[in-house]
Amino acid sequence: MIMIFKIIGGLLLVVSCWGFGFYKSYEIKVKRDFLREIVLNLDKLQSEIRLCSGELFPILKRTFNNEKISLKNKKFQISEKYIDRKNLQILNKMIAILGTADTLGECEKIEVYKGIFKKICDEYEKKYTADKKVWQTLGISGGIAAALLII
């Protein structure tokens, strides 16, 4: 009877460790997908600046209208679940320098930042493909090792 409980406990341990590995790889995927969304929003912002006239802040609010992103005092406030602090600083730096040039100059600035975020997004894509297997394998291996110690 005790052996049955040990086997069940071992299986639960393997599954929970695999779930942890899956969750860690999912975190990277969420950040990668959010960065893709930022690049799309920057493209949309570039189009809005070309086609619309008026103040920049309402255009930014309209473009980045999202439940994950809040724009307060001309700074983005985004959870670290979606974006790293370093990337958020880059995004806030972009907002700080917007509004200092004509339409063509603003579009060129946004193009530069789109390139930066595309590069970061590509890095996350590579990191996701490599780390996904590592985290899941590590989770299963750790779970099996712990289960064998119990049994």
Q: Which residue has the tokens 């930042």?
A: 113
Is the separation of the CB atoms in 107 and 46 below 8 Å? yes
Note the pTM of the prediction, 2 decimals. Answer: 0.76
Identity (one letter) of the amino acid at 86? K
Closest CA to 74 of 48, 52, 55: 55
Six-digit token pair at 45? Answer: 């912002």
List the pLDDT tens digit at each of the 151 positions of the chain.
778 877 787 777 777 777 887 888 888 888 888 989 999 989 988 888 888 767 777 888 888 877 888 778 778 888 888 888 898 898 888 888 887 778 788 888 889 999 999 999 998 888 888 877 777 777 777 777 776 776 6
Contacts of 54 by beta carbon, 8 Å cutoff, 6+ apart: none
